Amino acid sequence: METVTVTSQSYLTFWLDDELFATSVADVSEILELSKITKVPRAPHFMRGVINLRGIVLPVVDTRLKFGLEKIPDTVDTCILVLNLTIDDQQIVLGAIVDSVQEVLEIDAARIQPAPSIGSRYKSGFINGMVKHHDQFIMLLNIGLVFSTEELSILQNTSDQESTTHS
């Protein structure tokens, strides 16, 4: 009699600065400790370099810089999310450096609130929605868009300092 629709999905949450973000676990294939990253000279500043992932050369993005946050020294909690994304019909594997990972959460679709279009720090489109969890707002990221965008920062209306310091 009853029709049950699966409306909840698993999300991985992680910290960047003082904000908690979440991405669907389907996009994350593994979490790595920070290892030696080989710099690629003359690449965009948010591209930290490449690492060896079991014989595959994996590009690594400094998510803080991509998000327009300031650069901080790496800590023991700093880690790399290995993301498996489909961008423009292309399967792309990349590493995203985040401050720390928090947990895997089951989030009910009904609890997701739309991202505020006004007053948000981030440009619309990059945030799929928000969820309140233990008094903390979690930003659900459209991670494919974040890493396929040509834009240097996804911050809304910030000064262009990030792009000017680097060109």
Partner 1 sequence: MDHLQGIFIAEAEELIASLEETLLQFDKDRTNKTFIETIFRSMHTLKGSASMFGFESLSALTHELETVYDLIRTGRFTATNEVLEVTLEAIDHVKKIIRDQAMQDPANRARHETLRTAIAGLTSVARGQQSNTPAGVATFYVHCRPHANVQLKGTNPLYLIEDLVSLGSARVLPHLHEVPPLDALDPTGCYTGFEVFLASKNTLDEVQGVFIFAEDCCDVTVEKIADSDLLLVPEFIQALDIKPFGAAPFGLPAIRHLVTQALRAGVTATAGAPAATAPAPAATSKNHVTSIRVSSDKLDELLNLVSELVTSQAGLTLLAARHDVPGLANLAENMEKISRRLRENAFSICLIPIDTLVTRFQRLVRDLSKELGKEISFSAEGVETELDKSIIESITDPILHMLRNCIDHGIESPAEREAKGKPRQGNIRMKAFHSGTSVYIQIADDGKGIDAEKIRQKAIAKGLLLADTVLSEKETYDLIFKPGFSTAEQVTDVSGRGVGMDIVKRNIEAIHGEVSIASRVHEGTTITIRLPLTLSIVDGMRVRIASSEYILPLTAVDKCYEIETHKLRQEHAQKIEFDGDLLPVFNLRQVFHEDEPRPDITQVIKVQYDEFPVGLAVDAVVGEYQAVMKPLGSFYENREEFSGATILGDGTVALVMDIHKLVRQLIDENRLLHQH
Residues that bind partner 1 (CB under 8 A): 36, 38-43, 47, 49-52, 55-59, 61, 90, 92-94
Q: How far, in Å, CA of 161 to CA of 65, rounded?
A: 12
Closest to partner 1 by CB, 50 or 139: 50
Nearer to partner 1, 61 or 155 (CB): 61
Q: How far is the CB of 95 from partner 1 (least distance, A)?
A: 10
| Residue 107 C-beta: closest distance to partner 1, Å | 29
Measured from the CB atom, the residue of 42 and 134 that comes closer to partner 1 is 42
* H helix or E strand, kind and range, residue 95: strand 90-98
Q: How far is the CB of 38 from partner 1 (least distance, A)?
A: 4
Number of Cβ within a 10 Å radius of residue 73: 5
Q: Which is nearer to partner 1, 51 or 131 (CB)?
A: 51
Query: Hey, which residues does 13 pair with through a beta bridge?
Result: 22
- Contact at 8 Å (CB) between 27 and 60? no
Judge contact between 81 and 31, C-beta under 8 A: yes
